[in-house]
Amino acid sequence: MSPSVLSTVPQSMAASPWVSLAYLVAGVCFILALRGLSSPTTSQRGNRFGMIGMGIAVVTTLVTHVPFALPEGSRNFDAQGVDWTAIIEILAAIGLGAAIGITTARRIAMTAMPQLVAAFHSLVGLAAVAVACAAFLNPVAFDIADMVVPLIGPPFASIHVVSRVEMALGVAIGAITFSGSVIAFLKLNGNMGGKPILLPGRHALNLGILGAIVILVAMFTRDQAPWIFWTITILSFAIGFLLIVPIGGADMPVVVSMLNSYSGWAAAAMGFTLHNSAMIITGALVGSSGAILSYIMCRAMNRSFISVIAGGFGASDAGSAGGVAVDRPWKRGSAEDAAFLMSQAEQVVIVPGYGMAVAQAQHVLREMGDLLKKEGVRVKYAIHPVAGRMPGHMNVLLAEANVPYDEVFELEDINAEFAQTDVAFVIGANDVTNPAAKTDKSSPIYGMPVLDVEKAKTVLFIKRSMGGVGYAGVDNELFYRDNTMMLLADAKKMVEEIVKALG
C-alpha cells in the first residue's frame, strides 16, 4: 500500500529558528496593534502594526507550508519538490480576497461599519469550519493522522485524539460564530427587527443543544465516525442562530464584541490543527481581548456577562414587547431657538448617537461646536460606551470629523457635569439617554447606566419624528420632560440650519 504524499515541510525548514522568530515578531506586532487601537490618538499606528504583523505571518506561512496534500502523481512538482500550481492558486485567492476587501473598505459608509464587522466575523467562523472539514476529510494531508491497515477491510487514516479535540472545538466555535454573526448582521442592517425574538422553551432548547454538542465532542475523541463530526457541525450552526436571535437591540454592541471573541477562539483552535503558531497567537489575542471588552461593556450596561453570552438568558417576554411612542404633551423648537439657547450658554454638552451616524452629521456638528467656542461657550462631547451599533462607533465618527480628543468624554467622566450644564444637545442618542433605565423595571433597558442629560437646564433633542422608538424598542421619557425641546428633522439638515443661525 502506497499512502498519499504527506503535506509536510522539510524538517530543516520547519525547525528553522528563523520561522519561530518571524512568528514571534508577528505576535509582537499584533500586541502593539491592540495597544495602539486602545486610543484614538494611536489608532493609526496600531493599524499599521497589525498590517505589518499579518504580512509577516502570511509570507512566513507561505514559505514554510507549501501544500503537498494530493495523491502521488496528481501534481507536477519541480526539481526542488515545489508545487507551483498550488502556490499560484493560493496567491490568486489572496489577490481576490484583497481586491474584495479594498473595494468594500472604500465603498462602505461609516453607518454600515457595525454590519461590516459582523459580516467579517462570519467569514472567520466559516473559514474555521472549512479548515476543520478539510482536515477531517483528508487528515493525512494535515499530518494529524496515521495510516492504519486493518486485518480485514481497506486502510484508513486514524486521527490523533488531540487533533480530534482541536478539530471538534474549531468546527463548533466556527459554526457558532458564522450563524451568530449572520443574525447579528441582519439585525444591524435592519433586515430583522431590534426587538428580541423569544422562542418558547428557548433556554431548555439551548441547554439541550449545547449539552448534546459537549457529549458529541467527547464521543468524537473515542470514535471518529463521520456522523458524529457532521452532527456537531449542524448543531453548532443551529445554536449560533438560537443564541443571537433572543438578544435585543440594546445589547447588540456587546454581541458584536462577543462574536469577535468567538472568531478569535475559532482561529486559535484551527491554528493547532494547522500547526501554525502565528494563528494560535493571533486567535488567542483576538479571543481574549474580545472577551475582556465584552465583559467591560456588560459592566457598563449593568448586564450579566453570562446572561448575554447565553443568548438573552433572563430576558422576559414582557420586556421584549418593547414600547411604542406615547401620545403625551411635548415642546417643539426650531433651529433658531436652538442656536439662541446654545449661544447664550456657558457650557454645552453634545451627545451623539446612531442618528448622527445615519445622517452623516459629524462634520457639520464639529463646525457647530467650533462656532460655539468662538462665542465663548465650553463645548464637550459625551460618549456612552454602547452608543451606536458597536463599541467605539461614536469615537470613530468624531475622530473622522477631527473633533479634538480632549473634548470627548466617556460616561463616567461627564455624567456629574450635566447638573451644571446649560444645554445638553442630543443628536439621535435615544436609548442611552432614556431615564426609564433608572426607574422602569419593566423596561428592557432597566439597569443600564445612561447619560444624565435630563439634569441639564435645557435638553435639545434632534429626532426625525415623534412616531418612532429607539433600537431597543422603547419610548424615551426624556421627550416629554418640561426642560426638553424637540427638534424634529434630519440630523444633518437641522445642524446645518443651526450653523446658519449661529453665523
Look up 406 and say whether it is catalytic: no
The CA distance from 357 to 365, in Å, is 11
Q: Are 176 and 125 in contact (CB under 8 A)?
A: yes
The CA distance from 315 to 308, in Å, is 9
- State the helix-helix crossing angle for 113-137 and 226-244, rounded to 10 degrees: 170
Q: Are 349 and 421 in contact (CB under 8 A)?
A: yes
**Which of 443, 421, 434 is CA-nearest to residue 481?**
434
For 67: left if phi > 0, alpha if psi spans -120 to 50, otherwise beta; the answer is beta
Per annotation, catalytic residue among 83, 431, 452, 475: 431
The CA distance from 176 to 233, in Å, is 9
Q: Are 356 and 497 in contact (CB under 8 A)?
A: no
**Which of 451, 438, 431 is CA-nearest to residue 380?**
451
Say how far residue 60 (Cα) sits from the centre of its chain: 28
Q: Are 342 and 369 in contact (CB under 8 A)?
A: no
Q: Which SS3 state, helix, strand or coil, does residue 366 take?
A: helix
Q: Which residue spans within 428-475 are E strands per DSSP?
A: 458-463
Q: How far is CA 437 from CA 244, 316, 393, 430, 441, in A?
A: 23, 15, 21, 11, 8
Cell of 178: 458564522
Q: Which SS3 state, helix, strand or coil, does residue 188 take?
A: helix
The CA distance from 280 to 269, in Å, is 7
The CA distance from 335 to 319, in Å, is 36
Amino acid identity for residue 18 in this structure: W
Any bridge partners for residue 381, and if so which? Answer: 350, 408
Active site residues: 431
